[in-house]
Homo-oligomer: A and B are copies of this chain.
Amino acid sequence: MNFKDIITDCFNQVKGIENEGHLAAYIPELANIDPEKFGVHITTMDQQGFGMGDALEKFSIQSIAKVLSLVLAYKILGKKIWERVDVEPSGNAFNSLLQLEVEHGIPRNPFINAGALVISDILVSELDHPKQDFLEFVRRISNNPNINYCSKIAESEKKVGYRNIALCNFIKSLGNINNEPDEVLDFYFNLCSLEMNCKELSELFLFLANNGCCTYSKEEILTERQSKRINALMQTCGFYDESGEFAFEVGLPGKSGVGGGIVAVHPDQYTIAVWSPKLNKNGNSFKGMKFLEAFTTESKLSIF
Within 8 A of B (CB), among A87-143: 87-92, 94-95, 97-99, 101-103, 108-109
Q: Residue A262 at the B interface, CB < 8 A?
A: no
Within 8 A of B (CB), among A165-214: 165-170, 172-173, 181
Interface centre among A91, A168, A170, A233 (most CB of B within 10 A): A91
Which residues does chain B contribute within 8 Å of A259, judged by CB atoms? none
Expressed in whole angstroms, the Cα–Cα distance for A302 and B235 within the complex equals: 13
Expressed in whole angstroms, the Cα–Cα distance for A94 and B97 within the complex equals: 11
- For the complex of A and B, 7 pairs with smallest distance between CB atoms: A91-B91, A89-B89, A232-B248, A166-B169, A166-B170, A163-B173, A162-B173
Q: Residue A1 at the B interface, CB < 8 A?
A: no
Q: Given A91-B99, A304-B253, are A169 and B162 also a contact pair (CB < 8 Å)?
A: yes
Is the Cβ of B101 less than 8 Å from the Cβ of A94? yes
Is the Cβ of A88 less than 8 Å from the Cβ of B91? yes
Is the Cβ of A236 less than 8 Å from the Cβ of B87? no
Expressed in whole angstroms, the Cα–Cα distance for A172 and B165 within the complex equals: 10
Q: Residue A245 at the B interface, CB < 8 A?
A: yes
Q: In the assembled complex, how far is the CB of residue A281 from the closest CB belonging to chain B, in whole angstroms?
A: 13
Interface centre among A94, A108, A245, A303 (most CB of B within 10 A): A303
- 22 A-B contacts (beta carbon < 8 Å): A87-B245, A87-B248, A88-B92, A89-B90, A91-B91, A95-B98, A95-B102, A98-B98, A162-B169, A162-B170, A162-B172, A165-B165, A166-B166, A169-B169, A227-B304, A228-B248, A228-B302, A232-B248, A232-B304, A236-B244, A267-B303, A267-B304
Q: Given A90-B91, A162-B181, A267-B304, are A247 and B243 also a contact pair (CB < 8 Å)?
A: no
Give the number of residues in A that approach B within 8 Å (Cβ atoms): 50
Q: Residue A261 at the B interface, CB < 8 A?
A: no
Expressed in whole angstroms, the Cα–Cα distance for A248 and B165 within the complex equals: 32
Other-chain contact of A166, B86, B102, B167, B267 (Cβ < 8 Å):
B167
Expressed in whole angstroms, the Cα–Cα distance for A224 and B109 within the complex equals: 32
Which residues does chain B contribute within 8 Å of A237, judged by CB atoms? 244
Expressed in whole angstroms, the Cα–Cα distance for A110 and B244 within the complex equals: 12
Which residues does chain B contribute within 8 Å of A231, judged by CB atoms? 304
